[in-house]
Amino acid sequence: MTASKTAPLEPAAVPEPERDRVVGVALIASAVEVGSDARVDTDDDERAITRFGRVAFAHPAEAEFARLMDFYRVKWAYEPTSFPLRWDGGRVAEMFTPDFYLPEHELYVEVTTMKQSLITRKHRKLRRMREVHPEINVVLLTRRDYYELLARFGYGAVDITSLPEEDIEQVLYSPVEIAERVAALGAQISGDYAGRSLVLVGLLKGVTFFLADLAREITRPLAIDYLAVAPWEEGQTERVRWSKTLDIDIAGREVLLIEDIVTTGLTLDFVVAQLRERQPASLSVCVLFDKRERRLIDSPIRYTGFEIPNAYVVGYGLDYRQLYRNLPFVCVLKPEVYARDHAERLARVNGREAARNTGTEAQAPVSSQSA
Ligand code: IMP
């Protein structure tokens, strides 16, 4: 693995536009050095810094791409070169720094996880790059390409969860993106509860991985307890009930309820009302995924990991019929998966009906999805 950064070069006055990329770096250094009016248009859609070994990545997708390259033993360098794209009176006005260079393939790779609608500017830059530096080989990995790549090669875990890659509609969040957000939530909670201790109450089962990761990011003394609401069953007439209640007495304690996902808000509303009856000193809610669009009852949520679109998601603790909880990423399954499953269940029900009607044993198809 190579991980190099461009060595800072001496600022230099540049008389003519120079198309050599190494000189380009000098141009940029020069433009930055000259003063605030010498604005260089950079290609940074950067967010938090992700640490991966000794390299500080600007975006989790980059850390993941590096991991993928390591997996395939492909040598890489992170942002080793800046290419000048446009000049203004002899100074560089615009530059482009591709995320990766793969020296064995003489290929530069730009990884962008911006939404398709936002990448027009990036495409324009790439076009310009190809005009100005036609000898340089650059590819752009869009959000879709990148997730497809991860789904195909990134995570061997897909095999052991019997989720065929073609059943995935879209990966919403990668493991690194989740880890980063969880760390940020942990830091925020630690700050808000400074000087106090708290009780984390996790609502089983989807919350297991989230709570385990979040608890380790919180730097306050804390106790952990769990609640579970009994799943609704076909034909059930009684109202919602607990299948696991608290072991800890939360009266007078600072309680943080941790939920995996909130959709209608019905579960959250019920749980919050029940917890309030136990008279905690304070009660706040932390939710990893919020499908706000689908809300029926609005309970206040203090900490939200991600607002997600209105789609059924699985992975990182979230299940579909008890499966897929151990996927390291969060994804949307293709509608065919549910349709196939529904058809199989319907066939089983019909099979049972037929058997009852004729008094014979009908052979129901076996579901590949049943837990
Ligand atoms: P709500 O009561 O409609 O807000 O639903 C909350 C519960 O439904 C969560 O605790 C999950 O167990 C489950 N749930 C809702 N949406 C999803 C999803 O997209 N994937 C997996 N489970 C979900």
DSSP 297-365: S----SEEEEE--SS-EEBTTB-BTTBSTT-SSEEEEPHHHHHHHHHHHHHHHHHHHHHHHHTS---PP
- Give how far Cα 82 sits from Cα of 65, 104, 135, 173, Å: 20, 19, 15, 29
**218: which 2 tokens?**
């919180």
Q: What is the pLDDT of residue 90?
A: 86
Q: What is the pLDDT of residue 122?
A: 84
Q: Average pLDDT in the 82-87 region? A: 94
* Ligand 1 and 261: CB distance under 6 A: yes
* Ligand 1 and 322: CB distance under 6 A: no
pTM: 0.63
For residue 253, the 8-state DSSP code is S
Query: Is-contact 151 183, C-beta < 8 A?
Result: no
Range of lowest pLDDT (23-32, 120-129, 195-204, 279-288)? 23-32
Query: Is-contact 138 123, C-beta < 8 A?
Result: no
Atom of ligand 1 nearest to the CA of 311: 19
* Ligand 1 and 264: CB distance under 6 A: yes
Domain extent listing, the chain: 21-149, 173-333
Highest mean pLDDT among 2-11, 247-256, 347-356: 247-256
Strands of 77-78's sheet in order across: 77-78, 100-102, 107-111, 138-141
Atom of ligand 1 nearest to the CA of 206: 12
Q: What is the pLDDT of residue 167?
A: 80
- Give how far Cα 84 sits from Cα of 8, 54, 129, Å: 15, 27, 8
Select the more confidently predicted residue: 232 or 58.
58
* Ligand 1 and 331: CB distance under 6 A: no
Query: Is-contact 255 280, C-beta < 8 A?
Result: yes
Is 173-333 in CATH node 3.30.70.1050?
Answer: no
| Separation of CA 48 and ligand 1 centre (Å) | 29
Query: Is-contact 61 45, C-beta < 8 A?
Result: no
Query: Is-contact 60 142, C-beta < 8 A?
Result: no
Please name the CATH architecture into which domain 21-149 falls: 3-Layer(aba) Sandwich (3.40)
Residues 278 and 286: their CA atoms lie apart, in Å, by: 19
- At what angle are helices 175-192 and 60-71 packed, to 10 degrees? 140
Q: What is the pLDDT of residue 112?
A: 83
For ligand 1, atom 10, the nearest C-alpha belongs to 261
* Ligand 1 and 185: CB distance under 6 A: no
* Ligand 1 and 267: CB distance under 6 A: yes
| Separation of CA 263 and ligand 1 centre (Å) | 6
* Ligand 1 and 2: CB distance under 6 A: no
Query: Is-contact 278 263, C-beta < 8 A?
Result: no
* Ligand 1 and 263: CB distance under 6 A: yes
Q: Average pLDDT in the 154-161 region? A: 46
Q: Average pLDDT in the 277-292 region? A: 97
Q: What is the pLDDT of residue 361?
A: 45
The overall average pLDDT reported for the chain is 77
| Separation of CA 328 and ligand 1 centre (Å) | 18
Residues 78 and 72: their CA atoms lie apart, in Å, by: 16
If one residue of 227, 261, 299, 321 were mutated to test the ligand 1 pocket, choosing by the most ligand atoms within 8 A of its CB, it would be: 261
If one residue of 170, 205, 244, 260 were mutated to test the ligand 1 pocket, choosing by the most ligand atoms within 8 A of its CB, it would be: 260
pLDDT at position 224 over 90: yes
**256: which 2 tokens?**
């943080």
| Separation of CA 330 and ligand 1 centre (Å) | 14
For residue 41, the 8-state DSSP code is B
Region label for 322, one of left (φ > 0), alpha (ψ between -120 and 50) or beta (otherwise): left
* Ligand 1 and 313: CB distance under 6 A: yes
